[in-house]
Structure 1
Amino acid sequence: MRHYLSDWKAIIYNLAFFLNGLLIFLLVFESRFDVPGWMFPLGRLHPVVLHFPLVALLIYGCWTIIVEKQGSARWNADLAGILLLLGTFTATIAAFSGFILSKEDSEVSSTLLWHKYLGVGISIGSVAWYGLARYLSPWKIPAKSVSFLFIVLLLAAGHLGGNLTHGEDFLIIPSNFSEETAGKVSFEEAQVYENLIRPVLQQKCYSCHNADKSKGGLQMHTAELLLKGGKSGMLWDTTQKDLGLLLGRVHLPLDDKKHMPPRGKVQLTAEEVVLIAEWVRAGSDFKQKVRTLSPQNPVYSYAKNTLGGHRVGDIYTFEAADAEEVRALNTNYRVVKPYAPESPALFVNFYNKTAFKSSEISDLLPLKGQIVSMDFSKMPVKDEDLKIISQFTELRKLLLNFTEIQGKTLPELKKLPNLKELALSGTAVQISQIKALESFPSLTKVYLWSTALTTEEQQTLVNKKIRFETGFRSDTVIIALNPPVIENEQQIVMGSTGVKLNHQIPGTEIRYTLDGTWPDSSKALIYSQPIPITKNTTIKARAFKAGWYGSAPVDKMFIKATYHIDSVRLILPPDTKYKGKGPASLTDGIKSSTETGSGNWLGYRDTNFESLFFFDKPAKVGSLTISTLCNVGGSVFPPAHVEVWGGSDEHSLQLLKTIKPLLPGKMIEGSRELLIDANFDPQLLSCLKIIARPLSKLPSWHPAKGKKAWVFLDEVIVN
């Protein structure tokens, strides 16, 4: 090419030429091409690199258009050539990475297709443009026409890309549109979904889940599409502990690839998470008015702050807590946040009943001078915990709804000089204990919905200083009972321990089943005393009472354990990311939650699980249960192969049982516990050895097909 290209320019140009050829090949055979996992990080570079060709080619195009004549002072051939070459090469990289990004789990929309093909066209065209540049004099019409065409293509591709990432209205609607719109709605006319929920989804979710870009097959811009859900199923399920997919993804660690919104996007605030959770928990009514809610409802409080209402709040004179200390006290199950912007006051919300301990409260004592609100709703808070809570002297609002409070230590809360609101709905408090609240110095409102108080007792609660909210009662309206409470916290049962059931409302009949069916009001067993556990059993229970609808069901699995394992030795160590409590995780008698990051699971992928279990005295063993986890989306599968060995010591082991657990045959959303039972002829054993081999290749229907599966274990129970 008569030295038109110097050596380094030739290398860059030839590399761009080669990549474009590869890109054309991939487009032709796109339907047969599956992107390997290691290439997805290259696709994520697309938003980073696309700005280089956009700027370089736009400058070169404009430069060409303004050149007036040969020898113009506005034209520098060497600099222009380098600029065009850089634009060509980076356009190729942007197109190639964009193609990889388009293969991620997304629905293909017309916007995505146009953006992809325009990007590829610009990449191929820029290679041709650079190759023919020596024949296109910039001061002549053909060169200016090509430049003008490229500028149009660049602007069109950029606009479509912006629609994909920010939504169609990004250029014409300001980022604070939702707040401005919400603020113009009167409090009396505001709807929970339209004026509170939808603006949050619009800001935090629409950019990835709209008509043009429906990641995971999910679109969220209409109520109908929200209810429809995506490829992974419905967005919410009030029967689940985490309220289903939407809230489950929000509460995942930020580094988890399934966390929503993704890392790098604007995250939901704690108030917005509570807002959505409460709306879902209440039945996700798309037409509900804000004014119909109780002032106790967190959605009502959020609306007051968002929509206005001219409420005069407390003035806090205490100093703000150290930001690092507040951050350190935030966990996956406990949120500590400022009560309002620029305010030193803090509020605390607790999540995950199974992970709650009294230490979750005492750990917050360093912030007792700043916490003004605590929400323990549905947590297993007991009477003795009120002694700790009474030390938070700045507390104004305390929610104890549907906790295990009996009311015996309620006088402890009199030590809180600023307490104004106390919520005791769904608890077992008695009328005499409620009457004692009248002496509290600052208390002005008490919520007592769904308690055991009779109508006559409620009528005696007349006080000029305190307003007692007891809820709506009518002889013509039938409402549903709350579910019964399964009191046993530990799922592993030793000895003769029985399972206790309870209900807050006197005279309620609790019926239960042990065979996996849901109890009804006529055939199921009636609870009268603790239920003995003789084998691995799932107890399902409902509450019934004349004049009420039957409650929603509640269930819990219990695992029978006869022998205590005296010591454990791991032959092969677990993965460093999932090492739990080491050997103690297998014998501490504590069932972990179904979250892989709970800190109790032992995770294996690159090696087998192999461990020795020892008894100080020989035990007559005839079965054992291995507690594992299944999370198909997270590549956590049951082990492909399990072997149980036993003998008098580790050097004289014999194979007792081989098991091949049933493996999932399709995608299943969420995590669930899985028990693997091994039964064999009873015999005296002093040592057991268990080997569990992970699945070597995930099936073809799995997004990570061909990779190794994980195996997670947390308990071994011997009978």
Structure 2
Amino acid sequence: MRRYLSDWKGLIYNLAFFLNGLLVFLLLFEDRFTVPIWMQAVGRMHPLVLHFPLVVLILYCLWVVIVEKPDSTRWNAQLADSLLIIGTLTAVVAAFSGFILSKEDGYESDTLLWHKWLGIAISLMSIVLYGSRKYLAPWKLHSKLIVGAFLVIVFVGGHLGGNLTHGEDFLISPLGPSQDETPKVAFEEAKVFDNLVKPVLEQKCLSCHNEEKAKGGLQIQTQALLVKGGKGGMLWDTTKADLGLLISRLHLPLEDKKHMPPRGKVQLTDEEIVLLAAWVKGGSRFDQMVSSLSPQSPVYAYAQNVLGGGRTEEQYDFSGADADEVKKLNTTYRLIKPLSAESPALFVNFYNRANFKSEDIEGLMPLKGQIVSMDLSKMPVKDEDIKRLAQFPELRKLILNFTDVTGATLGELKKLTKLRELSLSGTAVKMAQIKTLESIPSLKKVYIWSTGLSVEELATLKKGQKIAFETGFRSDTLVLALNPPIIVTEKQLISKDEKVTLKHQIAGTVIRYTLDGTEPDSTKSLVYDKPIAITKNSTLKARAFRAGWYGSKQVDKVFFKAGYPVDSAQLLTPVDPGYKGKGAASLFDGKVGDTERVSGTWLGFNQNDFQGYLYFKKPVQAANVTISMLRNIGSYIFPPTRIEVWGGANEKSLKLLKVISPEVPKKDIPGAENLVYEAAFEPQQLSCIKVVAKPLSKIPEWHGGKGGKGWMFIDELIVN
């Protein structure tokens, strides 16, 4: 035992030699090497282990450089050998983990290539230094030159790694002009994107989404790249309740893998999140001036804090709210913030349509004496909610754009004696209801774009002197496109007694739809005039049409006919730990997986086939099994290559009922999409059903992950 302990350096040297050999072998066959899922954790240890060998090797090199003569009291050969062998082992561990990490998606630059090869060079040179240390006396000039060159490589490799993580100018940025020396743009000349939004994106997002490191295929260093989006599609979509990828991922829990910025990175402040959401809700314009905004706008308030400005804020005669109360009432999709620093006035923004309830307005009553601005754009606010809003006596600004308000209760706003600005764009208000607003003495401006009021009615309102009605730009030669209709029904699994509801914010708009997969047009497609019954699995496609407007873009959604209630289910093959959903319960929980946030809804398979049982306590007369799956080729999620459906009275009496063999895509298909596979067979009594699905074993040559295994995502199995 003592002999082995005394030769510990030899053991470590042999281990380091073996690992370097393995690393060289992997490099020679890099094109054929695919990182298994279990090994990804090794790669992600790279940031944890790389600092130790850097410190140890730098210390050893500096020690060699300062030794002057053989009998120097500064030199301790045993300690120097210990430092070098420890540095040698940890260097190869860091190089190996870095090589594994480099195989992950999103690292695509020349900087990565140089960093990887220098890291491997450092590992190989370390073991060569240790093996030849007897021939490299530290007090000789050639030894100092070799070690000095090695030290330069260590510094350069570390610098390139810092550039990958923190950006190209990470090391030298403190040497550049200080922030105070950078000329600030004048408030009146500032643009919302260039001077407010862009700096936030550069500070919090650019380090992971640039030409050197494009996580998710996304780069944001130019406006064109920002609009283009990444592998997940466009970054924003105002037709969605959560405004699309950019805003929804900011609101995910910090522990969620899809949360942005990732855990460990500097997070956005609440004010910055409000800024980005307000910019997206306002149309994500790149040319909008800050000075064109209302002083009540949250973007305007943010600009005052960041840019300054000579405008005088309104003085309020009420005291500030209790900070703990404000913090308690803030939620993921309802943000309450002061208008500006030290101001007692609060503004409120709502973000997620799907999560909104009327009680969310009632819940703000403890702050009714401080809330001066409320933005409920695109929330399902109804006429009865106006009565709740009328209970906030300090409201100066109320935004109800594209809500469900029809105007029947607008008279309730007379109670708001300080209301100066009201926005009703995109609602179904009528002329008579708009006229009731003239009885509100404090009201100065009303926005009524896209409300369905006739040109004559709008002209009449514009002639009024008391209230300034903003009706938007109109031209006899300009035809605008309608917004897409809204599919109100959130759930996708529709039972016998349920129906699908559509709506459009502009009165007089005709919604046409199809359920047979064809594209809806303005003449032949079905007209939506009542909720739609779903009698079979269908893809609903809808467009909006109105005289004097271009037809809207298409909106679509997959709906499933609910089947027999499943009593229990069992998974026969293991699910990938990163995508385990609710386990077997995901197969019959009545919820179809989200096409964007896949971490908590789908069962993911890569190394194994999917095999699962469905059980019924009483036999059911079955003739069809629907399998809900996902395709997102940019994220390596492919259709299965084979689906088998088996059935019988129990596991031992199963017989093959149906085989489906989906085709492998021959080219990239952008975005994510629900796939629906229907296995129809002769009607029969079944108590046990087994479904088998096989993932793609080899990704095609045209794909960036060619040769590797494809992912397969599955969630709901429906028996009819």
Which category of TM-score, normalised to the shorter sequence, fits these structures? 0.7 to 0.9
Q: 1:197, 1:276 within 8 Å by CA — same for their partners in 2?
A: yes
Report the equivalent of 1:32: 32
Q: CA–CA distance in 2 between the matches of 1:38 and 1:451?
A: 56
Distance in 1, Cα, partners of 2:182 & 2:193: 11
Partner residue of 1:572? 570
Question: Residue 371 and residue 183 in structure 1: after superposition, are their counterparts in 2 closer, same or farther (change >3 A)?
Answer: farther
After the TM superposition, which of the residue ranges 652-661 and 99-108 deviates more from structure 2?
652-661
Q: Distance in 2 between matches of 1:209 and 1:34?
A: 24
Q: Which amino acid aligns with 1:434?
A: I
2:201 aligned partner: 201
**1:470 pairs with 2:476:** no
Deviations 1:627-666 (A, max 9, x none): 555556385966953537588xx89998694253637647
In the alignment, the residues of structure 2 paired with residue 712 and residue 319 of structure 1 have an alpha-carbon distance, to the nearest angstrom, of 45
Select the residue among 627, 641, 644 that pairs with 2:643: 641
Distance 1:190 1:453 in 2: 34
Q: Flag the 1:405–1:234 CA change in 2: closer, same or farther, 3 A.
A: closer
Give the corresponding residue for 1:518: 519
- Asked if the contact 1:638–1:711 (Cα under 8 Å) also holds between the matched residues in 2, the reply is no
Local SS of the residue matching 1:677: strand
Residue 184 (structure 1) shift: 0.8
1:111 aligns with 2:111: yes
Bigger shift: residues 469-478 or 527-536:
527-536
Distance 2:407 2:537 in 1: 35
Aligned 8 A contact 1:640 1:663 in 2? no
8 A Cα contact 2:513 2:525, kept in partner = yes
SS at match of 1:212: coil
**1:572 match: secondary structure:** strand
Task: Judge conservation of contact 2:301–2:340 (CA < 8 Å) in 1.
Answer: no
Deviations along 1:442-498, whole A, 9 cap, x unmatched?
Answer: 655433221133445444478887654332334444333333445556655566876
Aligned residues, how many?
700
Q: 1:628–1:673: 8 Å Cα contact kept in structure 2?
A: yes
Pair 1:547 & 2:558 matched: no
Q: Which runs of 5+ in 1 are unaligned?
A: none
Equivalent-residue separation in structure 2 for 1:115 and 1:191 (angstroms): 38
2:75 is paired with a residue whose SS is coil
Quote the residue 1:610 is aligned against.
613
CA distance in 2, matches of 1:467, 1:178: 45
Per-residue deviation, residues 39-91 of structure 1 (Å, max 9, x unmatched) = 22222222222222222222332233333334334334444333333333322
Deviations 1:165-187 (A, max 9, x none): 22222233359999869971123
Equivalent residues of 2:461, 2:469 under 8 A apart: no
Question: In the alignment, which residue of structure 2 is the partner of 1:319?
Answer: 322
Question: Please, which runs of 5 or more residues in structure 2 have no aligned partner?
Answer: none
* Superposition deviation, residue 303 in structure 1: 4.0
Please give the secondary structure, in 1, of the residue aligned with 2:93.
Answer: helix
Say whether 1:160 aligns with 2:156.
no
TM superposition shift of 1:673: 3.3
The one-letter code sitting in structure 2 at the alignment partner of 1:80 is: A
Matches of residues 551-566 of structure 1 in structure 2 within 5 Å?
551-560=552-561, 565=564
CA contact (8 A) 1:57 1:87 kept: yes
1:407 maps to which residue? 407
- What CA deviation, in whole Å up to 9, does each residue of 1:346-374 have, x standing for no partner? 65544454454445555666776776654
Equivalent pair of 1:578/1:603 in contact (CA under 8 Å): yes
Give the deviation of 1:612 after TM superposition: 3.5
TM normalised by structure 1 equals 0.80
Q: Residues 131 and 206 from structure 1, CA distance in 2 versus in 1: closer, same or farther, beyond 3 angstroms?
A: same
Query: Aligned partners of 1:126 and 1:621: how far apart in 2?
Result: 67
More displaced stretch, 601-610 vs 535-544: 601-610
Instruction: Mark the CA change 1:31 to 1:540 in structure 2 (over 3 Å): closer, same or farther.
Output: closer
* Inter-partner Cα distance in structure 2 for 1:241 and 1:10: 63
Amino acid at match of 2:404: E
Where 1:422 maps in the other structure, the secondary structure is strand
Q: Which amino acid aligns with 2:422?
A: L
Q: 1:573 to 1:139 in 2, by over 3 A?
A: closer
Distance 2:40 2:625 in 1: 42
Could you report, residue by residue, the CA deviation over 1:292-317 in whole angstroms, capped at 9, with x for unpaired residues?
56777765554444333334266651
Any residues of structure 2 matched to 1:602-681 within 5 Å, and which? Answer: 603=603, 608-613=611-616, 625=626, 627=628, 630=631, 633=635, 641=643, 643=645, 645=647, 657-660=657-660, 662=662, 665=665, 670-680=671-681
Residue 455 and residue 214 in structure 1: after superposition, are their counterparts in 2 closer, same or farther (change >3 A)? closer
In structure 1, C-alpha distance between the alignment counterparts of 2:176 and 2:260, rounded to whole Å: 21
Q: CA deviation at 1:441?
A: 7.9
Conserved? CA contact 2:427–2:507, under 8 Å: no
**Counterpart code for 2:146:** V
The 5-angstrom pairing of residues 24-423 of structure 1 reads: 24-174=24-174, 184-226=184-226, 246=246, 250=250, 252-273=252-273, 275-276=275-276, 279=279, 286-287=286-287, 289-291=289-291, 302-311=302-311, 312=313, 317-321=320-324, 325=328, 329-330=331-332, 348-358=348-358, 361=361, 373-389=373-389, 397-412=397-412, 421-423=421-423
Q: Which residue identity lines up with residue 693 of structure 1 in the other structure?
A: V
Q: Contact 2:68 / 2:139 at 8 angstroms: preserved in 1? A: yes
State the shift of 1:676 in Å.
3.7
In structure 2, relative to structure 1, the CA distance for the partners of 1:511 and 1:322 (3 Å cut) is closer
Identity across the alignment (%): 54
What is the aligned partner in structure 2 of residue 427 from structure 1? 427
Check whether the contact 2:236–2:280 (CA below 8 A) recurs between aligned residues.
yes
Instruction: Give distance in 1, aligned partners of 2:427 and 2:176.
Output: 42
- Is the contact between residue 558 and residue 674 of structure 2 (CA under 8 Å) also seen in structure 1? no
- Paired with 1:441 and 1:638, the residues of 2 have a C-alpha distance of 65
User: In the alignment, which residue of structure 2 is the partner of 1:480?
Assistant: 481
